[in-house]
Amino acid sequence: MAPAAIENKTRLSKHLDVNKDLLAEKLAFDKNFDIVRREMIIGGRKTLMLFVDAFANAELMTEILYNLHQLDHEDLSVDAFQKLFLKHINYVEVQPSEYLEDLIEKMLSGPLALIVDGLDQAILLDVRTYPARNPEEPDLERVVRGSRDGFTETLVFNTALIRRRIRDPKLRMEYTQAGNRSKTDIVICYIEDIANEDLVDSIREKIGAINIDGLPMAEKAVEELITPGNYWNPLPRVRYTERPDVAAIHLLEGHVLVMVDTSPSVMITPATYFHHMQHAEEYRQNPAAGVFMRFIRYMGVAASVFLLPLWLLAVLQPGILPPALKFIGPEEIGKIPIFIQFLIAEAAVDMVRMATIHTPTALATAVGLIAALLIGDLAVTVGLFNAEVIMYTAAAVVGNYLTPSYELGFANRLIRLFLLVMVGFFRLPGLLLGMVLVLALMVFTRSFGVPYMWPLIPFNARALYNIIVRRPVPVSNVRPSILKPRDSDRQAVPVPARKPEERNKKQDKR
């Protein structure tokens, strides 16, 4: 700890009454019903026990206090602190605290503070237990085969789920805090002899530079504070996952994870566009099925972005269609201009999506039926909308939901809307200009120094093949080179098997 930081802190006094007055001034006991004080006599000394109600485990506290109440005056007459700390407190997670500010900060995060008269140090016992749910499969990353556990809102549970999968002594879980008032717990997770040291240092430095009062939005607030680049760029520059197996495989590739307490979403850094296109289900099936699923996913995502702008262009400028495609386009447009129909349909889809999120689960199906059957069908029946507009919008929405990353799906939705507007106003030149602008945005976007369109731009044939084709595990030998890992090999290159007669010839030569 820096000397300047220590000078600004208040040392605890050996007099319990002085410490009580300092704590009362800082914590306002009369205005905080959930901060519990318990005064007692331990070994003939006045003692104050301080903790936050609902954070402390009552059974553990009772067991520890039972042992302490057996102490006599003689037990603490000489070298009382060392005897308490090393001998009489029969608990594992214990640490000393000699400064008032440190004591308050730790106590408010859950541990129990034990302050004994005559001692100028307090003892912190981590007997906390947070309200927590059991690990469950995340709704956004479901798989047919595979594990059913997922990250929770409790940080120590999440680190345990990763430790269970990577039992490597080089796995690092660096603990830090951010938020001047919230003191939010953050963990930087990486494998020391794999992850690029400069990347780890950069993330550590950016988190250390956070100077804000609190982080109630947890991982999203941290992302916006540490991610370089334009804040208004819709492309997600980190990937989120709630699956421990997905987090573990990215660690083995050389990525760095950022975990924030109170959030089940773990941040994967850095992340390119194609990282957001991968799904765990592709690796839970055999390679052939995985390749097929990946192709279908890519086709659906491409359709979600380009289907509506291309169809609108064909309707507004039918002369560009070859004779074989003249059937594209509606016979009757409807009472509302086709361009306006698409804008209304896009807004309606998002309204239904938000309404479904905010609607109780029992009523969510009813909301979908009302939107599809009543609003959509009636709009076509009375002639306000064209049936093909509804059909193509629905196809684009399905393709959007094929995107594994929710954040990338939303970015693709904004890109689709932008291209629709460009086509609606400028026809074919608008579409071409819009696509060039979107490509330029992707090319110039970086995620912690990594080009967003890698391995397409800059081009890397081998890595691009691995992106397009789900490679079998036995031939996945190297880590992504763009991450600059300290250890580039995942496994030794297997020696090709030889036929028995070839082995015998080789032995004869010897």
- 258 and 359 inside one domain: no
Higher pLDDT pick, 387 / 202: 202
Other C-beta atoms within 10 Å of 364: how many?
Answer: 14
Closest of 191, 61, 81 to residue 128, by C-alpha = 61
- 320 and 441 inside one domain: yes
CB 299, CB 384: distance < 8 Å: no
Q: How confident is the model at residue 371 (pLDDT cuts 50, 70, 90)?
A: low
- 364 and 443 inside one domain: yes
Look at residue 165 and tell me if it is in a domain: yes
Among 70-74, 98-102, 189-193, the range scoring the smallest mean pLDDT is: 70-74
Q: How confident is the model at residue 362 (pLDDT cuts 50, 70, 90)?
A: low
Residue 378's pLDDT is what? 64
Residue 372's pLDDT is what? 63
Interval 194-237: pLDDT, tens = 999 999 999 999 999 999 999 999 999 999 999 977 789 999 99
- 205 and 349 inside one domain: no
Interval 466-477: pLDDT, tens = 888 988 888 888
Residue 174's pLDDT is what? 96
Residue 250's pLDDT is what? 96
Place of tokens 């039926």: 369
Look at residue 347 and tell me if it is in a domain: yes
What is the mean predicted confidence (pLDDT) over 308-322? 88
pTM of the predicted model as reported, rounded to 2 decimal places: 0.87
Higher pLDDT pick, 351 / 276: 276
Average pLDDT, the chain: 88
Domain stops at, among 271, 301, 317: 271
Interval 418-459: pLDDT, tens = 999 999 999 999 999 999 999 999 999 999 999 999 999 999
CB 458, CB 446: distance < 8 Å: no
Look at residue 484 and tell me if it is in a domain: no
Closest of 264, 240, 284 to residue 134, by C-alpha = 264
> What range does the domain containing 380 cover?
285-451
Look at residue 424 and tell me if it is in a domain: yes
Q: Across 4-13, 22-31, 343-352, which has the greatest mean pLDDT?
A: 22-31
What is the mean predicted confidence (pLDDT) over 283-288? 90
Interval 402-412: pLDDT, tens = 899 999 999 99
Closest of 233, 232, 250 to residue 241, by C-alpha = 250
- 262 and 343 inside one domain: no
- 315 and 199 inside one domain: no
**Does 131 have pLDDT greater than 80?**
no
**Does 4 have pLDDT greater than 50?**
no
Give the number of domains in the chain: 3
Q: How confident is the model at residue 491 (pLDDT cuts 50, 70, 90)?
A: confident
What are the Cα distances from residue 431, in Å, to 294, 306, 308, 415?
A: 27, 10, 11, 11
Q: How confident is the model at residue 3 (pLDDT cuts 50, 70, 90)?
A: very low
The three-state secondary structure class of 434 is helix
- 255 and 323 inside one domain: no
Among 11-25, 78-92, 237-251, 350-364, the range scoring the smallest mean pLDDT is: 350-364
Look at residue 462 and tell me if it is in a domain: no
Residue 241's pLDDT is what? 95
Residue 134 exposure: Cα atoms within 13 Å on the Cβ side: 3
What is the mean predicted confidence (pLDDT) over 367-371? 65
Interval 46-75: pLDDT, tens = 999 999 988 888 888 888 888 888 888 888
What is the mean predicted confidence (pLDDT) over 488-496? 73
Handedness of CA 53, 54, 57, 63 (dihedral sign): positive
- 109 and 243 inside one domain: no
Domain stops at, among 271, 305, 333: 271
- 326 and 223 inside one domain: no
Residue 359's pLDDT is what? 73
Query: Encoding tokens for residue 312?
Result: 């609108």
- 231 and 331 inside one domain: no
| Residue 15, strand partner residues | none
**Does 183 have pLDDT greater than 70?**
yes
- 243 and 297 inside one domain: no
What does DSSP assign to residue 133?
P
Look at residue 210 and tell me if it is in a domain: yes
- 165 and 113 inside one domain: no
Higher pLDDT pick, 401 / 367: 401
Distance in angstroms between the alpha carbons of the first and the last residue of the chain = 66
Look at residue 11 and tell me if it is in a domain: no
Other C-beta atoms within 10 Å of 53: how many?
Answer: 10
Domain stops at, among 105, 125, 145: 125
CB 281, CB 246: distance < 8 Å: no
What is the mean predicted confidence (pLDDT) over 305-323? 89
Write b or e for each residue in 223-234: b if 16 or more Cβ atoms lie within 10 A of its Cβ, otherwise e.
beebbeeeeeeb
